[in-house]
A and B are shown apart, each in its own frame.
Chain A
Amino acid sequence: EAQVTQNPRYLITVTGKKLTVTCSQNMNHEYMSWYRQDPGLGLRQIYYSMNVEVTDKGDVPEGYKVSRKEKRNFPLILESPSPNQTSLYFCASSLLNPGLAGLTYEQYFGPGTRLTVT
């Protein structure tokens, strides 16, 4: 079954304790992305990756790191989490559109990770 998986689904941690949220897709998608979803703010892109070893900042990258060593995996790393990073996080992947008009085809989303930082 084609899917995007994230782990863990729920995480409660304390300020400053490093954590990693994993994301994996089995659709051979080039493009992968992380978003955070906050009430009233919608989804905001944190980081994205066009392919292996190619990553770039989204609109809210501060306090986050990513890596793309393999095509299927795109972990999100919080080196020193703070309470303002409490949020619902979604990973997504898509094929790249080689055409000029757009960038990607539809994004496939993971189930989300609810993170609470106390």
Chain B
Amino acid sequence: AQRVTQPEKLLSVFKGAPVELKCNYSYSGSPELFWYVQYSRQRLQLLLRHISRESIKGFTADLNKGETSFHLKKPFAQEEDSAMYYCALSGRASGTYKYIFGTGTRLKVLA
């Protein structure tokens, strides 16, 4: 079954501390992986996608096909990083073209 798992509902870190938001996926094929961010009272927006290998706002994510993981990392958290983060995958399987999101992790960066 296709699934995206984000094990942490809430992650609290102090400003300047490293951040790692975990994402594991289950998919029979080669999906495309994304991280989306939702700031308070705003719409979701793309943070980064694995295929572009970019670093956005200091965040990076490496696709580990062996562990089927796509963890999001940032070396030094900032208060403005506080938001809801969603991992998502896109792919074709069994004739369907679904887009699957994880349940999200709320990141709180404390001063």
A-side residues, CB < 8 A to B, are: 31, 33, 35, 40-45, 48, 50, 56, 58-59, 90, 92, 97, 100-107, 109-112
With a cutoff of 8 Å between Cβ atoms, the chain B residues found around residue A31 in the complex are 97
Docked-complex contact A111 and B43, CB < 8 angstroms: yes
State whether A45 and B90 are in contact (beta carbons under 8 Å apart), knowing that A90-B44, A102-B31 are contacts in the complex.
no
B35 to chain A minimum Cβ distance, whole angstroms, is 10
Q: What is the total number of residues of chain B having a CB less than 8 Å from a CB of chain A? A: 27
A58 to chain B minimum Cβ distance, whole angstroms, is 6
Residue B69 is within 8 A (CB to CB) of chain A in the complex = no
Most buried by B among A31, A92, A103: A103
Docked-complex contact A104 and B99, CB < 8 angstroms: yes
A30 to chain B minimum Cβ distance, whole angstroms, is 11
Docked-complex contact A43 and B92, CB < 8 angstroms: no
**16 extra interchain contacts, Cβ-Cβ under 8 A, other than A44-B101, A58-B98, A102-B51?**
A33-B99, A35-B101, A41-B103, A42-B101, A42-B103, A59-B98, A90-B44, A97-B90, A101-B31, A103-B99, A104-B32, A106-B46, A106-B49, A107-B44, A109-B45, A111-B43
CA distance A40 to B105 in the complex (A): 9
Docked-complex contact A103 and B44, CB < 8 angstroms: no
B56 to chain A minimum Cβ distance, whole angstroms, is 11
Docked-complex contact B99 and A40, CB < 8 angstroms: no
B54 to chain A minimum Cβ distance, whole angstroms, is 12
